[in-house]
């Protein structure tokens, strides 16, 4: 089973590259973040025409929004409000084998890494705190994937030194994400298959005139699994060419293959 994740930054605006990815990579399950669409306007027919008949969505107009589409039967499990303000940032399902799949869009956290002057940064840390509490109580095989908006390792960013004070790579964010990982012995599948200090990025800013030439990337998108599920993982891919497709997202898809 191949499970993919992609912050698509508007699923309707980028419908063409979503279709291209599904045809070329053929994941069995695709988790989307930042769909930016209310449930009634979600492009169901696009996915159904490609064989993705099973669709679970948690939408929101203009901002946020998550969705899971699949070629295999899936059952909705939960929608957790880790933001504590009803933003559409999570949806969870059960796969046919009983494994939980949690799709999350963690807040970016604004521009200033100080909760006293930037409430958005505090919301991000509190969001992660609620995830840590949830994770510590998990007692079943689970995959956690999505846009975490944190690049934890020095080799997850183009310049560790220059980004230490930039939201997504600050010490407090890195430490908080490490606590989340330790709360249930999660395996970071990206780094399991592509060990540090190898270069591994999933996001490049739209501000760069030539993103590939400057290569100022960060690894913001992740796929984790509890130890029992991670033992079934056989491959992990990052689809860097997608960043050059027509009307690209600033994120690229990631995909893990499991031998269930």
> 54 an active-site residue?
no
Q: Compute CA distances 208 → 20, 138, 204, 212, 214, whole Å.
A: 24, 40, 8, 9, 7
Q: Is 259 annotated as a binding residue?
A: no
Q: Known binder of ligand: residue 7?
A: yes
The answer to whether 5 and 251 have CB atoms below 8 angstroms apart is no
Give rounded-to-5 percent helix, strand, coil for the chain.
30, 25, 45
Nearest one of 60, 1, 22, 21 to 256, comparing CA atoms:
1
Question: Annotated binding residue at 77?
Answer: no
Catalytic residue among 64, 222, 236, 251: 251
> Could you confirm whether 90 is annotated as catalytic?
no
Q: Is 149 annotated as a binding residue?
A: yes
Distance of CA 118 to the CA centre of its chain: 24
**Cis preceding linkage at 197, omega within 30:** yes
**222 given a catalytic annotation:** no
Please identify which of the residues 28, 105, 169, 222 carries the catalytic annotation. 105
Question: Catalytic: which of 52, 64, 90, 147?
Answer: 147
**Alpha carbons within 13 A on the beta-carbon side of 223:** 31
Q: Which residues are marked as active site?
A: 105, 147, 251
Binding site as annotated, residues for Mg(2+): 7, 34, 147, 149, 250-251
The annotated binding site is made up of 7, 34, 147, 149, 250-251
């Amino acid at each position: 089973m191949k499970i993919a994740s992609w912050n698509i930054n508007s699923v309707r605006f980028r419908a063409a590259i979503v279709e291209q990815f599904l045809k070329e990579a053929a994941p069995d399950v695709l988790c989307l973040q930042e769909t930016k669409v209310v449930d009634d306007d979600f492009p169901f027919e696009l996915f159904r025409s490609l064989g993705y008949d099973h669709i679970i969505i948690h939408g929101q107009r203009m901002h946020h929004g998550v969705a899971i589409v699949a070629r295999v039967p899936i059952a909705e499990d939960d929608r957790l409000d880790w933001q504590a303000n009803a933003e559409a940032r999570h949806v969870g399902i059960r796969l046919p084998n009983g494994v939980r799949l949690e799709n999350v869009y963690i807040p970016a956290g604004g521009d200033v890494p100080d909760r006293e002057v930037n409430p958005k940064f505090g919301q991000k840390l509190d969001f992660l705190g609620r995830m840590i509490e949830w994770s510590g109580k998990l007692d079943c095989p689970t995959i956690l994937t999505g846009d975490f908006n944190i690049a934890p390792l020095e080799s997850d960013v183009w310049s560790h030194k220059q980004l230490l004070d930039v939201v997504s790579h600050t010490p407090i964010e890195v430490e908080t994400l490490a606590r989340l990982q330790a709360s249930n012995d999660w395996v970071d599948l990206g780094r399991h298959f592509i060990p540090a200090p190898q270069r591994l990025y999933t996001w490049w800013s739209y501000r760069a005139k030539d993103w590939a030439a400057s290569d100022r990337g960060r690894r913001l998108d992740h796929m984790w699994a509890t130890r029992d599920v991670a033992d079934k993982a056989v491959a992990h891919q990052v689809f860097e060419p997608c960043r050059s497709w027509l009307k690209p997202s600033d994120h690229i898809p990631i995909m893990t293959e499991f031998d269930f």
